[in-house]
Chains A and B, each alone.
Chain A
Amino acid sequence: MASDSIDIRYVARLAQLALRDDEIEVFEQQLGDLLGHVKRLSELDTASVPATAQVVESRNVLRDDVRRPCLDRERVLSEAPQRQGAFFRVPRIIAE
Chain B
Amino acid sequence: MSVAYEAVIGIECHVELKTQTKMFCGCANEFGGEPNTKICPVCLGMPGALPVPNAKAIEQIVTAGLAFGAEIPSFSKFDRKNYFYPDMPKDYQISQYDMPLSVGGMVTYWLEDGTVKHCRLTRIHLEEDTGKSTHAGSGDGRIAGSSYSLVDFNRAGVPLMECVSEPELRSAAEAVGYLESLRRTFLTLGVSDVKMEEGSLRCDANVSIRPAGSTELGTKTEIKNMNSFRSVERAIESEIARQREIVASGGRIVQETRGWDEVNGITHSMRSKEEAHDYRYFPDPDLVPLEMSRDDVARLRDALPALPWQRFERYTREYGIAPKQATQLVDNVALAEYFDRVVACCGNAHQSSNFVLGDLSRLANETGVAIAESKVLPEHLGELVGLVESKRINSKIAKELLGRMWAGAGSPRALVEQEGLAQTSDPATIERFVDDVIAAHAAVVAEYRAGKTNVLGFLVGQVMKTSRGKADPALVNELVRKKLC
A contact set with B: CB distance below 8 Å: 14, 16, 53-54, 56, 58-71, 73, 76-77, 84, 86-96
Contacts and interface: CB of A to CB of B under 8 A. Distances in A.
Interface in B122-171: 133-135, 137, 143-144, 146-153
23 contacts: A53-B283, A53-B285, A56-B288, A59-B290, A59-B291, A61-B287, A62-B54, A63-B26, A65-B56, A67-B28, A68-B25, A68-B26, A70-B38, A70-B40, A73-B34, A76-B36, A87-B151, A89-B150, A90-B148, A90-B151, A91-B148, A94-B143, A95-B143
Interface of B: 19-21, 25-28, 34-41, 44, 52-58, 77, 84-86, 133-135, 137, 143-144, 146-153, 270-273, 278, 280, 283, 285, 287-291
Contacts of B152: 86-88
A14 B151 CA distance: 22
A70 B270 contact: no
Contacts of B271: 96
A69 B42 CA distance: 12
B166 to A, nearest CB: 28
Given A14-B278, A65-B19, A73-B39, A95 B270 contact: yes
A66 B84 CA distance: 30
Contacts of B144: 95
Nearest to B34: A86
Nearest to A11: B278
A93 B40 contact: no
B135 A93 contact: yes
Given A71-B41, A92-B147, A92-B149, A65 B280 contact: no
A73 B35 CA distance: 9
Contacts, number: 125
B52 A62 contact: yes
Contacts of B135: 92-93
Closest A-B pairs by Cβ, 6 of them: A68-B26, A65-B56, A87-B150, A62-B55, A86-B35, A88-B151
B272 to A, nearest CB: 7
Nearest to B86: A90
B289 A70 contact: no
B371 to A, nearest CB: 31
Contact of A14 (B36, B55, B280, B289): B280
Contacts of B38: 70
Contacts of B77: 53
Given A16-B84, A63-B55, A92-B146, A54 B27 contact: no
A84 B134 CA distance: 12
A92 B19 CA distance: 33
A60 B291 contact: yes
A53 to B, nearest CB: 5
Nearest to B275: A96
Contacts of A84: 150
Contacts of A71: 39-41, 44
Nearest to B287: A61
B399 to A, nearest CB: 47
A56 to B, nearest CB: 7
A90 B149 CA distance: 5
